[in-house]
Amino acid sequence: MNLVVDIGNTLVKMAVFQQSKFITKKICLKQDFLKNFEEIIQKYPQTSKCMVSSVAKTSPKWFQKIEETLDLTILTPELPKVFTNLYATPSTLGNDRTALVSAASFQYPKQNVLIIDAGTCITFDFITSKNEYFGGAISPGLQMRYSALNTFTQNLPLLEPEEDVALIGNSTKNSMHSGVIVGITAEIDGVINAYSSQYKDLTIILTGGDAQFLCKRLKNSIFANSNFLLEGLNYILEFNKSQ
């Protein structure tokens, strides 16, 4: 069995797989990682391998603890890819984007796939039916847009997203909600339409923390998958077992 670990700035996401089959997932604060790691190992003692992806500073004690129990692989730019990477600066490609494209390569072979990750940032990543990755785009995410309106002005409040948002805001708060939520939805739909006009039979995957909030607002047909990044990490781990 495999354990994959995605370390973010605040949260750690962990998932257990039996080869390619998803078993369970756990999300915890960074300070609670070791306790949750030990609980997973106790519950799934057959776990033997681990893949760690980190976009934040990580305590060396974590890696030492993992290596005491499991065969550890750390995701780095040097690790063999499951796709042809045509990114102009491959060493700068984030681990999260690498994992997402890997999942698309495995789950949707010989298809044009656009992966949209709606998290702190919104990332757009495109892989062709020939398994070639060209790149995509990075845009401010939902919370970042609300925060920017508050941080870079003197009078606009810090708001939280709301479910019911009108196109025409009839107050300052409602105008902010419209600007952020209607705007971000129009942006995503616009990007999808632009890709669809150039690439036929485009498969669209939406993932990330804000995926469920946004998916019902999008006009385009998409597949929402909250575990897509974790599945990609597991596929990279499985792929590198045979290297």
Q: Could you count the other beta carbons within 10 Å of the beta carbon of residue 30? A: 17
> What's residue 243's pLDDT?
62
Instruction: Count structural domains, the chain.
Output: 2
Give the Cα separation of 237 and 60 in Å (integer): 21
Domain that holds residue 208: 84-233
Q: Residue 240 falls within a domain, yes or no? A: no
Whether 24 and 94 map to the same domain: the answer is: no
Whether 203 and 90 map to the same domain: the answer is: yes
Whether 66 and 110 map to the same domain: the answer is: no
Active site residues: 96
- Domain with 51 in it: what CATH number? 3.30.420.40
User: pLDDT of 187-201, one tens digit each?
Assistant: 999 999 999 999 989
Long-range CB contacts (within 8 A, 24+) of 161-168: 161/210, 161/213
> What's residue 56's pLDDT?
77
User: pLDDT of 19-28, one tens digit each?
Assistant: 989 999 999 9
Name residues of the chain where pLDDT drops below 70: 242-243
Q: Residue 180 falls within a domain, yes or no? A: yes
Picking from 21, 51, 74, the residue at the C-terminal end of a domain is: 74
Q: Residue 15 falls within a domain, yes or no? A: yes
